[in-house]
A and B are shown apart, each in its own frame.
Chain A
Amino acid sequence: MRKFIVKRVLSVIPVLIVVSVVIFLLVHLVPGDPAAAMLGDMASAEDIAALRAKMGLDRPLIEQYFVWIINMFKGDFGNSVANGEPVLSVVISHLMPTVSLALYALIIAALIAIPMGMAAAQKKGTVIDHVVTVCSLAGVSLPSFLLGLFLMLLFSVRLRLFPVSGYTEMSEGLVQHLRSITLPAIALGFMNAALMMRMTRASMLEVLNSDYIKMARAKGVKEKWILGKHAFKNALVTVITVFGQSIVHALAGAAVVESLFAIPGLGQLMVNSIGRRDYYVIQAIVMLIAVFNVLINMLIDILYGVVDPRVRIR
């Protein structure tokens, strides 16, 4: 098991190198000059050139890349072009709302989707199964911004249960905080819930038809143990995969939902930074999301090994 984990962790390194190169190139090859953007329309060509030199933008790309990487390891992501603040602190200040929102969305999704998917599989062909199937189809088809608007209209404007938009920090009270992100979390989590539900149902169905479930029944195992232990542990591999994808989706999808509900999260920061060609911020956020993505996938692979002994051997 230890060998399996070490191998999996080491395999992350080349991926991250490639990712960093791609991010760097993307940002630098896109037209638009941060120095010009910073100084405004009235700046002279000499001023812009001076600033470019100061920022190191006149040096060869390859040199810029290594400077970026080395500084990153020192915890220095550069300063924001927009307001001169260190990128790290800008990103961190926008991190909390997104993490909070994504986590909330995932918890809602998992708590609804996994039991519903299991129930649908066990009671295949019944009303529960049909409800789950229809819900998951709706969930996959409904874009989050549309769902967000519907939720806003119904729960905030009509029923006045939740604020229409805006974000309350956790330091101002947990209840207020959760209230402010409940609707966005539902909007964000619904699609993930739908996917998880479908996958849980499908993999449980497959497992429930297998010989070892028949064998467990022939042994006299209670039905709830068959479902909860024998079947679920086997279906878990699929569920973990979808859950991992959902984490990544939730982070990426947050950009849309954050804009809609005016939540000052990473997604919003990224959209704004792209607008102002804030190189260092964009690089940092994209790198952060990419690293996160890679780490989540690594974690999921390791979890496979924990759940399924056959994976460990390879």
Chain B
Amino acid sequence: MQEKILEVDGLCTQFRTERGLLKAIDGVSFDVYRGEMLGIVGESGCGKSVTSQSILRLYDEKRLVKYSGEIRFEGKNLFDIPMKQMRQIRGEKISMVFQDALSSLNPVFTVGNQIVESLRIHRKLSKKEAEEKAVKMLELVGIPDPRRRFYQYPFELSGGMRQRVMIAVALACSPRLLIADEPTTALDVTIQAQIMDLIVDMNRRMDMGVMLITHDLAVVAETCSRVIVMYLGQIVEEGSVDDIFDRPAHPYTKGLIEAVPKMDGDRSRRLHQIDGTVPLLSQIPSGCRFAPRCPYASERCRKEMPELKTIGATQKVRCHCVTEEQGKEA
């Protein structure tokens, strides 16, 4: 396997609220390797975005959030370094692309300006050099007539264009890790495919690790090599894309995969859905967190929290029902 660029070890992210601390992320550990595309999937409210924003320490640590665990990047624990160093890593070594490009690009600055800013902060380029480089970045992400677009404002571009601009901003300093937080959710299907192609292309060209956060399993199946499935702030299953899609072990993963509509499915049948909704963080069930929605839940599941255990070469799962049966099922 390739070198690890990011190691997340026992990450807990707790939010301070009026009713005490709420644990949004509970002991999440995973690695990201150089040049790989790692998919993180789960329903809304499962902690995918919180995980990614915790990596960059984007939450207000004085008032809002309490982190524990370790995030190691280039030999340093990101939670130990001062904010000044953290700022140097943000945008330079680890970049982020957000869901909605219209609200994530500053409406009152030109798109060129927003790429230049990144370059000026991290690369200390002169204004002229930074502008040249920014135009090149716009070209690289597939924006036609980049010199003209450079002087336009985000609202003057189409949705797909804006997402390309955001990718250009994120990649301006050739980061080692790109965190893409639902980069295609706000886009049309055709544009989605284009943007995913662009991300995959950049991933290969720049040899950077990509963490793709999404609830779109089809996108993960097509682009990623490994997948992490999250539920209520925990990893419930992880493994290679092949393993997870061919032999999903966790009932939640199975539910997610079955919930994807199929072209050749029986049209008269209702689409599959996972019963219930993701509980609030203040009402986390004891025992297995998925138990209240799980069709296979037993008494043990409701009382005792399962550990994340290895069940194959790449696959790990957090479920009491697996282990012995896994052999039979696979």
Q: Does A159 reach chain B (CB closer than 8 Å)?
A: no
Q: Bound complex: CA of A212 vs CA of B102, how far in Å?
A: 9
Select B96's contact among A210, A212, A218, A234, beta carbons within 8 Å: A218
Judge whether B121 and A234 touch: CB under 8 Å.
no
Which of A25-33, A219-227, A264-272 contacts the other chain? Answer: A219-227
Judge whether A308 and B108 touch: CB under 8 Å.
yes
Hey, which chain A residues are within 8 Å of B92, CB to CB?
220
Nearest chain A residue, comparing its CB with the CB of B103: A211
Q: Does A164 reach chain B (CB closer than 8 Å)?
A: no
CB distance from A302 to the nearest CB of B (A): 16
Q: Which 9 A-B pairs have the closest CB atoms?
A: A220-B90, A220-B91, A219-B91, A211-B103, A211-B104, A218-B96, A212-B106, A215-B104, A309-B153
Hey, which chain A residues are within 8 Å of B208, CB to CB?
none
Size of the chain A interface, CB-CB below 8 angstroms? 20
Judge whether B117 and A221 touch: CB under 8 Å.
yes
Q: Does A125 reach chain B (CB closer than 8 Å)?
A: yes
Judge whether B103 and A218 touch: CB under 8 Å.
no
Judge whether B121 and A219 touch: CB under 8 Å.
yes
Interface size class of B (residues with CB under 8 A): 20 to 34
Q: Known interface pairs A218-B95, A219-B117, A309-B155. Does A212 touch B90 (Cβ–Cβ under 8 Å)? A: no
Judge whether B58 and A212 touch: CB under 8 Å.
no
Judge whether A221 and B108 touch: CB under 8 Å.
no
Select B104's contact among A212, A220, A233, A309, beta carbons within 8 Å: A212
Q: Bound complex: CA of A216 vs CA of B106, how far in Å?
A: 8
CB distance from B99 to the nearest CB of A (A): 8
Judge whether A233 and B121 touch: CB under 8 Å.
no
Hey, which chain B residues are within 8 Å of A221, CB to CB?
87, 91, 117, 121
CB distance from A285 to the nearest CB of B (A): 39
Q: Bound complex: CA of A126 vs CA of B274, how far in Å?
A: 44
CB distance from A76 to the nearest CB of B (A): 46
Q: Bound complex: CA of A222 vs CA of B87, how far in Å?
A: 7
CB distance from B56 to the nearest CB of A (A): 6
Jot down 6 A-B pairs with beta carbons below 8 A, ordered by A: A211-B104, A212-B106, A218-B98, A221-B91, A230-B106, A308-B107
Select B105's contact among A212, A217, A233, beta carbons within 8 Å: A212
Q: Does A287 reach chain B (CB closer than 8 Å)?
A: no
CB distance from B102 to the nearest CB of A (A): 9
Nearest chain A residue, comparing its CB with the CB of B83: A223
Nearest chain B residue, comparing its CB with the CB of A307: B108
Q: Does B89 reach chain A (CB closer than 8 Å)?
A: yes
Judge whether B107 and A220 touch: CB under 8 Å.
no
Q: A211-B100, A221-B121 are in contact. List 13 more A-B contacts (CB 8 A).
A: A210-B103, A211-B98, A212-B106, A215-B96, A217-B56, A218-B98, A219-B90, A220-B92, A221-B91, A221-B117, A230-B106, A230-B109, A309-B153
Q: Does A310 reach chain B (CB closer than 8 Å)?
A: yes
Judge whether B58 and A214 touch: CB under 8 Å.
yes
Q: Does B88 reach chain A (CB closer than 8 Å)?
A: yes
Q: Bound complex: CA of A70 vs CA of B166, how far in Å?
A: 58
Q: Does B199 reach chain A (CB closer than 8 Å)?
A: no
Q: For residues 120 through 175 of chain B, which have their beta carbon under 8 Å from a beta carbon of chain A?
A: 121-122, 153, 155, 166, 169
Q: Known interface pairs A210-B103, A212-B103, A212-B105. Does A217 touch B90 (Cβ–Cβ under 8 Å)? A: yes
Judge whether A220 and B89 touch: CB under 8 Å.
yes
Judge whether A309 and B100 touch: CB under 8 Å.
no
Q: Bound complex: CA of A218 vs CA of B114, how far in Å?
A: 12
Select B107's contact among A125, A212, A218, A219, beta carbons within 8 Å: A212
Hey, which chain A residues are within 8 Å of B98, CB to CB?
211, 214-215, 218
Q: Bound complex: CA of A220 vs CA of B91, how far in Å?
A: 6
CB distance from A128 to the nearest CB of B (A): 13
Q: Does B253 reach chain A (CB closer than 8 Å)?
A: no
CB distance from A143 to the nearest CB of B (A): 37
Hey, which chain A residues are within 8 Å of B58, CB to CB?
214, 217-218
Nearest chain A residue, comparing its CB with the CB of B90: A220
